[in-house]
Amino acid sequence: MAKRRLAVTALGVGMAALLFGSCSPEQPVVVAEEPARPPVHGDTIIMGSNADAVTLLPVLASDGTSSSVNSLIYNGLVRYGKNLEIEGDLAESWELSPDGLTLTFHLRKGVTWHDGHPFTAADVLFTYRLYIDPKTPTAYAERYRQVEQAWTPDPHTFVVRYAKPLASALSSWGLDIQPRHLLEHVEITKSPLSSAPVGTGPFVFREWRRGERIVLEANPDYFEGSPYLKRVVFRVVPDPTTMFLELQTGGIDEMGLTPLQYARQSDTFNFRRNFRKYRYPAMAYTYLGFNLRQPLFQDKRVRQALSYAIDRQEIVKGVLLGLGQVANGPYVPGTWPHNPGVGYYPYQPDQARELLRQAGWQDSDGDGILDREGRPFSFTIVTNQGNDQRIKAGEIIQRRLREVGIEVRLRVIEWASFLKEFINPGKFEATLLGWTVPPDPDGYNVWHSSKTKVGELNFIHFNNPEADELLEQGRRTLDQEQRRKIYFRFQEILAEEQPYAFLYVPDALPVVAARFRGIEAAPIGIMHNFIRWHVPEREWKYRR
């Protein structure tokens, strides 16, 4: 669950600094280490990964491991900084035209690809065209289709023009820029780069043993200076328990812990001495979504009652062992779009019973289950196989709803069938699922009433004219203050309507061997200054 995600892939823009104060309570105070000695270049870090990468060609990749590896090999024009602010990467600076339609990027000079070829604006233009090419099988073309025109006035300037203002335009240029000289005129799915990538990033690809490991080495010519760690190894260990054993015996230096491992299995003296644990909110939330086309859930009072009947604190405690927080909407607490003024539904079973009574649900036949017009209140929650946290949350919800007289069945279905048979055709009553919270608060695809066709994301059929209006405004408004107001109001509507019972935001729980110094936990996580991580020479573990 606590999957590591780097840089641009899945983080929201904003100022989570408020929240950072509560970041790592169990974190021992960073030992005052020899400040006089400057960091040296050397040693290797072995990162545990639960799955092998699929392809190292960013345009084709969509899995977590591939993007983790690619983020060290490639650069975007911009990226998210440690406090989730957008900063330059391959672009030194950029400006937006007064009408909000034209973005001009000024690129860094003197950057070279790992094979020595110079990087220019032509590479950016090529990457853009690669994404929108109908022959490219990518799932990420949509946001680049919004571009009306793109051109390069000179080798170090890249300009894009949009037909309508697009709030997420700038952040979309965090995509990995790929080398034109190696990819032009080749069939993209046949490119050798998918197994031997060439980028501009801090690490150079060295070796890929499928199913075992991927090895990268420091790029001595990196434009921000060569990373201190000489080598990075992504080691594939699919089983979390095995990975934890490997960590303890030194076979792995970094991994994401499960809540159980974090809370119960890493409290020994040896563990504290050899490892540093970190904790910060993951950019994701889990929810119970109600199919609003089902007569059962069409009454707002019923949905509110269900929310009152669920004890969210209990779920956070029981499922996450307290390593997470209650969610009150689709944004992560502490990020700028999140509206802290919207409370969450506290556990109030009496309030739930009262609302259900108002909606006409009573236990008229004395069997302990509410009924109305002869129909008992019973429904099925479907969720996907392979996510134990969701299944456990489902069981807790099942018990709590039974206490107010609602019968819930829980069905766990293998992922592909789950999508095809239940979610896409809308053949479900309620579903336990999670969303990754994307970089931009634009929730148009998930919440807008037009996005209810088969396979689209508003599969619960939420339809609220005011919310629609706000979502349309939000994605076309460029001023952050104004957008914040829009999304604050949007969250109030969701809180009132409860189309989802928002459940929890889990914490990311990375752990790193203690010999690595310079790690700085921040709202974006710990990987933001990865190229500055280092190991004092006397503690080097791998000298070759």
> Which residues sit at the interface with another protein, rule CB under 8 A?
44, 46, 52, 54-55, 60-63, 134, 137, 139-143, 189-190, 194-195, 210-212, 233, 235-239, 241-242, 245-246, 248-249, 251, 414-417, 419-421, 423-424, 438, 445-446, 453-457, 542, 544
Query: CB of 231: closest distance to another protein in angstroms?
Result: 10
Q: Burial-class residue 258 by CB neighbours within 10 Å (0-12, 13-18, 19+).
A: buried
Q: How far apart are CA 27 and CA 108, in angstroms?
A: 38
- Could you tell me the two tokens for 339? 């509206």
Query: CB of 190: closest distance to another protein in angstroms?
Result: 7
Contact partners, residue 298, CB within 8 Å, separation at least 6:
292
Query: CB of 237: closest distance to another protein in angstroms?
Result: 4
Query: CB of 239: closest distance to another protein in angstroms?
Result: 5
Complex with another protein: residue 254 or 311, whichever CB lies closer: 254
| Residue indicated by tokens 């006035």 | 153
Pick from 66, 111, 90: nearest CA to 205: 66
Complex with another protein: residue 237 or 302, whichever CB lies closer: 237
Q: How far apart are CA 53 and CA 216, in angstroms?
A: 13
Contact partners, residue 399, CB within 8 Å, separation at least 6:
none
Quote the DSSP letter at residue 419. Answer: I
Complex with another protein: residue 326 or 535, whichever CB lies closer: 535
Complex with another protein: residue 56 or 107, whichever CB lies closer: 56
Query: CB of 377: closest distance to another protein in angstroms?
Result: 29
Q: How far apart are CA 396 and CA 394, in angstroms?
A: 5
**Whether 523 contacts 508, CB under 8 Å:** no
Torsion angle in degrees (nearest 10) through CA of 125, 131, 133, 134: -170
Between CA 9 and CA 12, with CA 10 as vertex, the angle to 5 degrees is: 120
Query: CB of 514: closest distance to another protein in angstroms?
Result: 18
The H-or-E segment that residue 281 falls in is: strand 280-281
Complex with another protein: residue 212 or 299, whichever CB lies closer: 212
Q: How far apart are CA 372 and CA 363, in angstroms?
A: 8
Pick from 468, 384, 461, 465: nearest CA to 425: 461
**Whether 471 contacts 490, CB under 8 Å:** yes
Complex with another protein: residue 117 or 541, whichever CB lies closer: 541
Query: CB of 141: closest distance to another protein in angstroms?
Result: 7
Query: CB of 135: closest distance to another protein in angstroms?
Result: 8
- Phi, psi (5° rounding) for residue 420? -70, -40
Distances (CA, A) of 532 to 176, 224, 452, 537: 21, 10, 46, 15
Complex with another protein: residue 137 or 153, whichever CB lies closer: 137
**Whether 528 contacts 82, CB under 8 Å:** yes
Complex with another protein: residue 44 or 120, whichever CB lies closer: 44
Q: How far apart are CA 325 and CA 19, in angstroms?
A: 12
**Whether 493 contacts 303, CB under 8 Å:** no
Query: CB of 333: closest distance to another protein in angstroms?
Result: 21
Complex with another protein: residue 307 or 491, whichever CB lies closer: 491
Query: CB of 142: closest distance to another protein in angstroms?
Result: 4
Complex with another protein: residue 61 or 393, whichever CB lies closer: 61
Query: CB of 111: closest distance to another protein in angstroms?
Result: 28
Q: How far apart are CA 95 and CA 230, in angstroms?
A: 36
* 3-state DSSP helix/strand/coil % of the chain, to nearest 5: 30, 20, 45
- Phi, psi (5° rounding) for residue 183? -110, -15
Complex with another protein: residue 255 or 352, whichever CB lies closer: 255
Complex with another protein: residue 201 or 240, whichever CB lies closer: 240
Complex with another protein: residue 375 or 453, whichever CB lies closer: 453
Query: CB of 73: closest distance to another protein in angstroms?
Result: 16
Q: How far apart are CA 437 and CA 506, in angstroms?
A: 12
Query: CB of 246: closest distance to another protein in angstroms?
Result: 5
Complex with another protein: residue 467 or 521, whichever CB lies closer: 467
Query: CB of 245: closest distance to another protein in angstroms?
Result: 5
State whether the Cα torsion 21-24-28-31 is positive or negative.
Answer: negative
- Could you tell me the two tokens for 462? 């939420």
